[in-house]
Chain A
Amino acid sequence: MKRFFGFVKKEFQHIFRDVRTLVILFALPVVMIVLFGYVVTNELKDVRIGIWDRSGDQITRDAINKILSSGYFVLAGTLDHEEQIGSLFRSGNAKVVVIFEHGFEKKLMRENRAAVRLVTDASDANSAQLALNYLQGVLAGFFRSLNPDAGLPWEVEIRTRMFYNEEMKGVYMFVPGLMALIMMLISALMTSVTITREKEFGTMELLLASPLKPWEIILGKVTPYVLLSLVNAGSIILLGTLVFNVPVSGSLPLLILECLLYITLALSLGVLISTVAKTQQMAMVFSMLGLLLPTILLSGFIFPVDNMPGILRGLSTIMPARWFIVVVKNVMLKGTGFAFIWKESLILLGMTIFFIMAALRRFNVRLEK
């Protein structure tokens, strides 16, 4: 045990003496989350919308004025039949189309209810969702101001429909995705690089010639990164809560446990890479191409899994990040308990065990096989 702690201590000394490592460990997550959050929250400006006013009465005209004067939207064109929606989206001229139903004012006066339909081009999912939220906000404010006093409130039903990506849920997609990405980056990339560094500098030769067992070497190298990754996960959650109001609706201990599981998985991947790569550069390339890119592209972080062609969707099922993102979204955003994520957790656990076994099997107790 003392041997192990000595090893961990040495590893921490390496980490805290290397400025580059420190920057990647602590500055990068903060920069990334602020950057992503900032880009997402401020994207909404001059969104081009199309309007199909099937009613053409006073209230709808006022509503349209309200929307266009909000500063978020500019008019791309008016429509007069259904087919124009698709052509407008395909030409890229508009992202959202607002449709007021036929006889809007009359219905509202007579039945106290009327419907607005918002159709979005959700191929750019995040901005589409954001535009929708803003539109809903503007419209809701407008109708409330029309009917300030008591009496029966008007019910304006706002029906939204997303073209191309119907099931997208939640704007806060980027927080779970970013957690998956950053922890993969730190855990897998950093461990694979730090282990190959020992090989490159010849220090691994001395470690191998010592009574240290393979698991002691691996665990000693990996433990500091587990702790640091946990710190990072915590800071991402904290930043999300404080800066971007992303709530932790579910159980925090459960969330942390799931993070720990995912970190372990990423670390074992890092160790596995280090058993293959001979130099730090190779390890970096393997981690970047083999882990980071797929994590970004195939996990549903940026491109929704449901929109992928069959082969890629199949591939995405072997991406640990895909399952982790589902878990985090459930626990963090939807506030569900373990009962709803046990399947994903089990998949993650299975992958972890598989990679640990593979890494231990491949780890060489000598300089060559």
Chain B
Amino acid sequence: MPVILQQVSKSFGDVRALNEVGFQVGDGELFGLIGPDGAGKSTLFRIIASLLIPDAGSCMVLGFDVVKQYREVRKLIGYMPGRFSLYMDLSVEENLNFYATVFGTTVRENHDLVREVYRHIEPFRKRPAGKLSGGMKQKLALSCALIHRPRILLLDEPTTGVDAVSRREFWEMLEKIRREGITILVSTPYMDEAELCDRVALMQKGGILEVADPAEMSTREEVPLFALRSSSEVYPYLERIRKQEGCQSAWLFGDELHVTLKSKEYEPLIREEIGRWKEPSLEWVAIAPSIEDRFMRLIRQEQEPDSGHGAGIKYRTDR
């Protein structure tokens, strides 16, 4: 197991950033950390990258302890921080060369690995990194993180603030890198990206809600799920649905309402009730839960039932 976390906790002053987090990442796995801003993803990355010391618990990377053997860890990881951290005044090429020499290698040596990413930005190789678009910056940062052929790639929200096309391209690249045998740990606030991972850990408020295969995760939802759709605004019905007997929870999901029921028996009652609202544009259907629904419900279980929807989760923007 390349990454093993056990009961990792970390506080900053009074704020508990991580609370007894534990999971393992398998060899060659594309592992996703999914959660809203402030869930503790960046802190977790920094602990794995040996940049922060956990208050409690242990973290092993490729058999090395991140606290005691941080020098070994740093030789083996490729880290891409959440914030763009390359030199804005250096050109694309110079940045890449610099990181290559820092890791005691050359661009040519690992060219075949980086090429797939680098070819997207190669036409701009003389341009200062500060003048690249968001998507190109991320590709450059990925190239720099890959330049020494790390065993593990740590990517902290690599697609945040990147346009939809670049995001898709970015994930295609990750897939290719994984095929090279590099273990990838990636965080994202986007639910649709979770489905591209081998396994995901759902994070919320410094804790792990669940670790599972995303395809399998949605089938774990045994509670029946329904959607209320409308050709006009659907939001005004949220409170009315919540007041219905048998409604377990309801939340805004994109431009529709998703509703879970306490049991299947309540379904006809609610359908009748909606019929009485005399709104022909309303459509009530049973749907298959997605990973997003699973996450929403898990979050809502943690919180009190009526505290808004989604806690900062970003909805799919490109569908």
Contact = CB atoms under 8 A, between A and B. Distances in A.
Nearest to A364: B51
Given A6-B97, A10-B90, A201-B88, A210 B51 contact: no
22 contacts: A3-B102, A6-B97, A6-B98, A10-B94, A14-B90, A201-B87, A203-B86, A205-B81, A206-B81, A206-B99, A208-B51, A209-B50, A210-B99, A210-B102, A211-B74, A211-B102, A365-B70, A366-B51, A366-B53, A366-B70, A367-B51, A368-B53
B317 interface: no
Contact of B85 (A10, A14, A205): A205
Contacts, number: 76
B89 interface: yes
B104 A3 contact: yes
A6 B102 CA distance: 7
Contacts of A368: 52-53
Contact of A209 (B79, B86, B87, B88): B79
Majority secondary structure, A binding face: helix
B77 interface: yes
A17 B89 CA distance: 7
Contacts of B81: 202, 205-206
A32 interface: no
Interface residues of B, number: 30
Interface of B: 46, 49-53, 70-71, 74-75, 77, 79, 81, 83-90, 94, 97-99, 101-104, 144
A366 B97 contact: no
Contacts of A14: 87, 89-90
Contacts of B144: 206
Interface string A207-218: 111111000000
A293 B103 CA distance: 41
Contacts of B74: 209-211
Nearest to A366: B51
Nearest to A5: B101
Interface string A1-29: 01101110110011001100000000000
Contacts of A205: 51, 79, 81, 85
A202 B102 CA distance: 16
Given A2-B101, A14-B90, 19 more contacts: A5-B101, A6-B101, A6-B102, A9-B98, A10-B94, A13-B94, A202-B85, A205-B79, A206-B86, A206-B99, A206-B144, A209-B51, A209-B77, A211-B74, A211-B103, A211-B104, A365-B70, A366-B70, A367-B51
